A and B are shown apart, each in its own frame.
Chain A
Amino acid sequence: MKKLFALVLAVAMLASMATVAFAAENTTTKSTTLTTTVPTATYTLNIPENQEITYGEEKSFIGNVTITDGVNFEKGKNIEVAVMYSGKFEADNVSTTIPFTVLASQYKTADESSSFYGEIVISDGECLTFHGKSDTTVSEKAYAEFKNGSSSTKEAYVESLCISIKGENWGKALAGEYTATIMFTAEVVVEE
């Protein structure tokens, strides 16, 4: 009886070792896929409609570019608005053109304590930046920096755009009804 029991135990031990050997050779790997969805940001871009520029005026305010109704933004997730324009007023059947430049010219300080006049030329294709905020909205007005020499920087927000036409260019234009359009291109971007 003892011999029989010992034989059974030996066989059982051998069988369990084989099982261990099989386990070592048939390893399976499982993985878990993690997913997350970043919500889409939406906003409303508000641009100047159309402005009648008074003949002879060298600086004409044309309103502002603003962003409202911003949703699903964050600090570091901004909107850049490129300002594109031909740089000249043209008229049908008139050979002359009237060159102009777009300026960002009226500002309010970042702490909203004061307004001031300054000029930053916005070249064709240059961007205005509207910063995303940690409360998931986005700044209504474009950000700008003014440097006083190399010592200090004044942070401000753009309050108005301006069309600048040199006096001499008015003088070189033949009579006619001139028009020009400005195209604004907005894009959601993330800071690097």
Chain B
Amino acid sequence: MGKGRFEKPAQGRFPFITVVLAVICVVLVILLLQTCQHTPENSSESTVPETTVVKNEGSISIPGYEMLELKADSKQQTIALSNPPQNNCYFEISLYLEDGTLLWKSQLIEPGDATEPIVLTKELSKGYYPKSVLRYACFTMDTDRTPLNGAETKVTLWVK
């Protein structure tokens, strides 16, 4: 059997190619890192659109409901009521039965905020309570707290 030929690599050529390849790799890594630093996700100026609220000019927005569900035989409820973010006034919200019985009254609520889950002044038995009233008293947000136009919405309380 004849012996095969084996050609030794040229001296000095292999290390040079290695160095060149290493340099190219380093350059690519550097370019990649620089690209990542300038991508929108990593830039200091966020391009994720933020939800902006268009504030009312000269008007007040009052939420209205045909019906609200309440828990029977319990003063502690799970519902909370809010002041829409587009308003420029405080809300003070009150809930009354048709006969004028006050069930709940809030503190001043800022625009965009909601109350804690409401706590009634008395427990209600199961049933429907039509023509109950949510009364919205509105006030300026300066130190005067000047009363503004207000609103009421009639609502049926479904207690179950």
User: A41, B59: Cβ atoms under 8 Å?
Assistant: no
Which secondary structure dominates chain B's binding surface?
A: strand
Which chain B residue shows the least CB distance to A187?
B154
Interface pair A49/B59, CB less than 8 Å apart: yes
A110 within 8 A of B: no
- Check if A15 is an interface residue, CB within 8 A of chain B: no
Instruction: For A187, list chain B residues within 8 Å (CB).
Output: 131, 153-154
Q: Is A186 an interface residue (CB 8 A)?
A: yes
**Chain B: CB-nearest residue to A184:** B151
Q: Do residues A49 and B151 form an inter-chain contact, with CB atoms below 8 A?
A: no
Pick the contact of B63: A42, A51, A181, A183 (CB < 8 A): A42
**Cross-chain contact B64 with A79 (CB below 8 angstroms):** yes
Interface centre among A47, A48, A51, A72 (most CB of B within 10 A): A47
Q: Decide if B148 is an interface residue (CB 8 Å cutoff).
A: yes
Residues 171-189 of A, flagged 1 when their CB comes within 8 A of B and 0 if not, give 0000000000111111110
Contacts of B152 in A (CB 8 A): 183-186
Q: How many B residues face the partner with a CB closer than 8 A?
A: 27
Partner of B59, one of A63, A72, A185: A63
- A44 with B89: CB separation less than 8 A: no
Q: Answer whether residue B61 sits at the interface, using C-beta atoms and an 8 A cutoff.
A: yes
Q: A46-B59, A48-B59, A49-B88 are in contact. Are A186 and B64 (CB under 8 A)?
A: yes
Interface size for chain A: under 10, 10 to 19, 20 to 34, or 35 or more residues? 20 to 34
Complex CA distance for A46 and B138, rounded to whole angstroms: 13
Verify if B65 is at the interface (C-beta below 8 Å from A): yes
Q: Which of B65, B66, B88, B151 has the most CB of A within 10 A?
A: B66
Interface contact A42-B65, CB-CB below 8 Å: yes
| Complex CA distance for A139 and B61, rounded to whole angstroms | 16
Q: Which of B58, B62, B66 contacts A188 (CB 8 A)?
A: B66
A185 to B147, CA, bound (A): 17
A66 nearest in chain B by CB position: B59
In angstroms, Cα B64 to Cα A92, docked, is 33
Within 8 Å CB of A184, what residues of B?
A: 62, 149-152
Q: Which residues of B contact A45 (CB under 8 A)?
A: 61-64, 151, 153
CB neighbours of B159 from chain A (8 A): none
B66 touches A44 (CB 8 A): no
A residues within 8 A CB of B67?
40
Interface presence of A170 (CB below 8 A): no
**Minimum CB distance partner of B63 in chain A:** A44
Q: Say yes or no: A43 contacts B60, CB within 8 Å.
A: no
Interface contacts beyond A42-B64, A47-B149, A50-B148: sample of 11 additional A-B pairs, CB < 8 Å, sorted by A: A41-B65, A45-B151, A46-B61, A47-B151, A51-B58, A79-B64, A181-B149, A185-B153, A186-B62, A188-B66, A188-B154
Q: List 21 interface pairs A-B (beta carbons < 8 Å), by A numbering.
A: A43-B64, A44-B64, A45-B62, A45-B153, A46-B56, A46-B61, A47-B149, A49-B56, A49-B149, A51-B58, A63-B58, A68-B61, A79-B64, A183-B151, A183-B152, A184-B150, A184-B152, A185-B151, A185-B154, A186-B64, A187-B154
A: which residues have CB within 8 A of B?
40-51, 63, 68, 72, 79, 181-188
**Which residues on B are within 8 Å of A, measured CB to CB?**
56, 58-67, 84, 88-89, 131, 133, 138, 140, 146-154
6 tightest Cβ-Cβ pairs between the two chains A and B: A187-B154, A41-B66, A45-B62, A188-B66, A185-B152, A40-B67
